[in-house]
Amino acid sequence: MKGNDHFNYERIAKAIEYITTNYKDQPNLDEVAANVFLSPAHFQRLFSEWAGTSPKKFLQYLSISHAKKLLKENQSTIFDTAIETGLSGTGRLHDLFISIEGMTPAEYKYGGRDLSINYSFAETPFGNIIVASTPKGICHMAFAENEMDAFAMLKKQFPNAFFQQKLDIIQQRALFIFQYDWSKLQEVKLHLKGTPFQLKVWETLLKIPLGQLTTYGEIANHIHQPGASRAVGTAIGSNPVAYLIPCHRVIQSSGHFGGYMWGPVRKAAIIGYEAANMER
């Protein structure tokens, strides 16, 4: 590490310590930058390069992490949680949860108690699949070797939601993709929860054309974080919607297909299937 790099690292470490210690006061960019003797613009750029996210997002992650802890303990109301986290009210807490978790604070606090989720199973060219939807869109899709285990995994994500085994129009539109019918793809809505980084990676995956492959490094470059290949791999491994969000189209830079949540054999079969259909 060069001398200047070491100096920059120390400044970012000091900034992270300051934000971590004072996040309940919700310090703004100018305050944190002044603490490390940098202009706000320079500090914003330097922090994003070293931490992989902006100071504002880093503060949001700390805030929501604390809020989630309070809500999980079930000893704090949503209003009290907002105030204890340093937010001005429940509106800001609501916006923060929608932005990062894809659900309201109440839905998180009660494990999705206010959510109504339909789910069904379907046969695809690559095996049985479970698909689940809320009124907002597809929230889960996974290849299912065992239907009971598949449902248990779904329920683990939303432990207190109301589940109904029912095939609805939202699921039907999503399942058309396995019939090689891409005409309704624009009608498919997703209801996802994830960090802004994960959502950015998943959004990028949706842009990979049918029959084409890319690498973890190329995804990292596309989202303007060239050093984040490993973090990209982790986000891809957390993809909650199999096939529809085509994480199977991402391979290693060496050309090896690499891992896949639902098995490397299935990944190879999907890649081969899509390539064959492109040649029709």
Q: Is 139 a catalytic residue?
A: no
Structure tokens at 193: 């929860």
Distance CA 124, CA 171 (A): 13
Supply the Cα-derived Rg of the chain in whole angstroms: 21
Contact yes or no for 117/139 (Cβ under 8 A): yes
C-alpha pair distances (Å), 5 with each of 35, 105, 121:
19, 40, 53
Residue 274 CB partners (closer than 8 Å, separation 6+)? 210, 211, 249
CB-count exposure of residue 163 (10 Å: 0-12, 13-18, 19+): middle
| List 19, 117, 242, 247, catalytic entry | 247
Q: Is 251 left (phi over 0), alpha (psi -120 to 50) or beta?
A: beta
Residue 78 CB partners (closer than 8 Å, separation 6+)? 71, 90, 93, 105, 106, 109
CA-based nearest residue to 182, from 261, 258, 262, 280: 280
What does the angle CA 143 – CA 148 – CA 149 come to, to the nearest 5 degrees?
A: 60
CA-based nearest residue to 257, from 272, 242, 240: 272
Catalytically annotated residues: 247
